[in-house]
């Protein structure tokens, strides 16, 4: 099966922001893509549904699937999904999330799955985010917030991904804030020489067209 599992070094590192741009580029290239965020916590009241990760993935995909198909498990508490589900009397299993990801897929579809939180964050009653791409047999893209300290976080995640027997197709450094030029930090170069996959840089609120195209090229070349 063609596809990709997107995870991060932590929550709020830009998985959905980066992923939405990648999805839109793949759809523009006529890839039959199906985006899935099988579980999301912190789900707001109805009038703010456009603020959810699942909605943003749907928009990038062209709203070809319903929100119920993209994200069937939605919980109000802004905590780990398994605990948010527990507060509402639900028990979510890894097998259930796997089937939710596969629901509605055709044989030639590209399955794009976004996790919830970091790679080792709990995602179900019986599993971590790390276990979902294993069950789906999907390669991984790792999103990292480009800041001081991220080299350590990145390399720890790379080791964890390898330990699970998963293929890491790309690392995306997401820079949400402008880094002062005089600080001398170059996380892109420092990470790239320590890993065996491509490292791509995104800068928030800037033109990332070339980075998006390069990332899409990498992902498609490795399918």
- CATH code for the domain of 110: 3.40.50.300
Look up the domain containing 82 and give its range. 3-221
The beta-strand segments (E) located in the chain are: 3-8, 33-36, 39-40, 73-74, 110-118, 122-124, 127-128, 140-145, 168-175, 198-203
Phi, psi (deg, nearest 5) at residue 8: -140, 170
* H or E segment and range at residue 54: helix 53-61
- Digit-coded pLDDT (tens) for 72-129: 999 999 999 999 999 999 999 999 999 999 999 999 999 999 999 999 999 999 999 9
* H or E segment and range at residue 83: helix 81-87
- Work out how many domains the chain is built from and give that number: 1
Place of tokens 């720890």: 156
Which band of pLDDT confidence, cut at 50, 70 and 90, is reported for residue 45? confident
Tokens for 132, please give them: 């979902």
User: Quick check: 43 pLDDT over 80?
Assistant: yes
Tell me the helices (H) and strands (E) count for the chain, helix number first. 9, 10
User: Quick check: 46 pLDDT over 90?
Assistant: no
Place of tokens 């508490």: 77
The whole-chain average pLDDT of the chain stands at 95
User: Quick check: 206 pLDDT over 90?
Assistant: no
User: Quick check: 181 pLDDT over 80?
Assistant: no
Q: Which residues are catalytic?
A: 37
């Amino acid at each position: 099966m063609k596809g990709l599992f997107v995870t991060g070094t932590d929550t709020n590192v830009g998985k959905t922001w980066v992923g939405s741009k990648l999805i839109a580029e793949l759809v523009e290239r006529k890839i039959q893509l199906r985006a899935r965020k099988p579980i999301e916590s912190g789900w707001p009241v109805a009038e703010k549904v456009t603020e959810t990760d699942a909605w943003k993935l749907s928009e990038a995909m062209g709203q070809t699937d319903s929100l119920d198909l993209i994200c069937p498990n939605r919980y109000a508490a802004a905590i780990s999904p398994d605990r948010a589900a527990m507060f509402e009397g639900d028990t979510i299993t890894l097998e259930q999330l796997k089937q939710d990801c596969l629901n509605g897929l055709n044989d030639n579809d590209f399955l794009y799955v976004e996790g919830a939180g970091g790679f080792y964050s709990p995602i179900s009653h019986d599993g971590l985010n790390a276990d979902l791409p294993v069950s789906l047999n999907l390669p991984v893209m790792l999103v990292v917030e480009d800041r001081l300290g991220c080299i350590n976080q990145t390399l720890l995640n790379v080791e964890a991904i390898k330990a699970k027997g998963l293929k890491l197709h790309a690392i995306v450094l997401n820079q949400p804030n402008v880094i002062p030029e005089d600080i001398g930090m170059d996380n892109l170069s420092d990470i790239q020489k320590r890993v065996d996959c491509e490292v791509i840089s995104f800068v928030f609120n800037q033109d990332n067209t070339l980075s998006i195209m390069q990332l899409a090229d990498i992902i498609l070349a490795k399918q």
